[in-house]
Amino acid sequence: MKKVCVITGGSSGIGLSIVKLFVEHNYQVFNLDLSPCAIGEFRQCDVTNVEQVSEIIANIAQQHTIDVLISNAGIHFSATIENTSEAELDNVFNINVKGAYAAIKAVLPSMKANKNGAIILMSSDQALVAKHNSFAYNLSKSALASIAKTTALDYAAFNIRANAVCPGTIETPLYHQAIDNYCQKSGADKNAVHEEEAKLQPLQRLGQPEEVAELVLFLASDNAKFITGSLQVIDGGYTAQ
């Protein structure tokens, strides 16, 4: 029998790499995203709508035991606190944090009944270090790290594990969008910025979404059954500096 994985934001970037890898490893993957995806079982969903997230996951849980939740849906936003409006702050938190809250709350009944489960939140190296012009994004990713820790403690008695993955600079569509936005505002050359980003990493390159997916697969597996409440950094050594 296939294990069942629910992922939010699995239609592009790191999420898509996770969906592909989990399908390859014989998981039945339900992908909750706004954008369609041909891999796995797609469910159109706005993660900011708690009722919609709850309903979709409840429908999945009626037919399947949910073994793994990967809370991956998120957006990037660059600005200082002065340049962040209340609406922009709400938008970042609604997607990055409330989306995780909704998904975790919805899968817990199935995992508690089964006395087993792995919850993986996609945080960031910014849960450990600050970066310029990243007030709201940094705040949201730090919140996800906190959620992983508190969920790990609250549900350890049910053999439910919760961990946060903290990627550094990963070459995804989101990364390229952020670089494009910066270049448009500053007039900088994209190739030069891309090279500079690589040089900031001790390993002298950017991470790839497939590498993050491999870490997520490990955390979901029985090989990681004694790992919970942890922040798993995958950043090419950036936060070790």
The question of whether 137 is a catalytic residue gets the answer yes
Q: How far apart are CA 170 and CA 77, in angstroms?
A: 16
Structure tokens at 100: 């995780």
**By C-alpha distance, which of 177, 235, 179, 182 is closest to 206?**
235
SS3 33: strand
Alpha helices in 156-241 (DSSP H): 173-186, 190-199, 209-220
Catalytic residue among 137, 155, 175, 238: 137
Burial class (CB in 10 A: 0-12, 13-18, 19+), 153: exposed
The set of residues, in sequence order, having a beta carbon less than 8 Å from that of 208 and lying 6+ positions away, is: 170, 171
Strands 4-8 and 160-167: unpaired
Q: Half-sphere exposure of 142 toward its Cβ, with a 13 Å CA cutoff?
A: 11
List active site positions. 137
